Amino acid sequence: MSTTNEESAARVAIVTGGSGGIGSAVARALAADGMAVAVHYSGSAERAEKVVASIQEAGGTAISVSGDVADETAMTALFDTTEERFGGIDVVVNTAGIMLLAPLAEMELDAFDRMHRVNVRGTFVVSQLAARRLRPGGALVNFSTSVTRLQQPTYAAYAATKGAVEAMTLILARELRGRDVTVNAVAPGPTATPLFLDGKSPELVDRIAAASPTERLGTPDDIASAVAFLAGPGGRWVNGQVLYANGGVA
């Protein structure tokens, strides 16, 4: 774990998968809005450290914390560390997830189980902790995908995990009645992250970009802006919704 400074901020956010393409943009956006941010990572400590450093250089406050997103003990430690450092938690954003693609008839069950563990169990574990610990005025933002509405071949297993995320998100919003905590999901469309672009030809990328009326791919900052809206004061009247941030692709 690394830290920037010891000062507590008025609002505090946890971003799971905060070292990834979208996660890092979300962490920076929330920090720019004045929040102290716990940047969670499960793989690359170096990438997480770079995100923390960039927040610090911009005058913000951040820590990096590792852990398996589907492990309740590790995630409890993440929440404990954040509360001990900053005094509470106001925003939790679940960007952590994996995408493994294959036609349903050919999908290896081990691959499906891996994806289910991270995308569904991981979201459940973190959402459960958020439901127990978010302060009044808080926000939980989970991550779905626009693929749930596109019915694209090879995406069945991935879309199924994200359909589960949407279901738990919308129900949890109703279960937190009276808590003054909002629960929403963001469903990105095709977004120009290294993971998305890897292995795709320029021609394929161009075809995917052309599917949107905006005729471009989304950027991590586009998605981060949607999250920042839901996590900030302007999003307090948005609750129990799935926000499709996809440029009109679906």
- pLDDT tens-digit map of 122-133: 999 999 999 999
Q: Where are the beta strands (DSSP E) in the chain?
A: 2-3, 12-16, 36-41, 62-66, 91-94, 138-143, 181-188, 242-245
155 CB-side CA count, 13 A: 13
Q: How many CB atoms lie within 10 A of CB 123?
A: 27
SS3 assignment, position 142: strand
- pLDDT tens-digit map of 1-39: 444 444 445 899 999 999 999 999 999 999 999 999 999
- What's the confidence (pLDDT) of residue 10? 83
- pLDDT tens-digit map of 85-118: 999 999 999 999 999 999 999 999 999 999 999 9
- What's the confidence (pLDDT) of residue 8? 45
Report how far Cα 45 is from the mean position of its chain's Cα atoms: 18
- DSSP for residue 57: H
- What's the confidence (pLDDT) of residue 102? 95
Catalytic residue annotation: 158
* Residues whose CB falls within 8 Å of the CB of residue 188, separated by 6 or more in sequence, listed in order: 22, 143, 145, 146, 218, 223, 245, 246
Gyration radius (Cα) of the chain, Å:
17
Report all structural domains of the chain as residue ranges with CATH numbers, in order of start.
Answer: 2-245 (3.40.50.720)
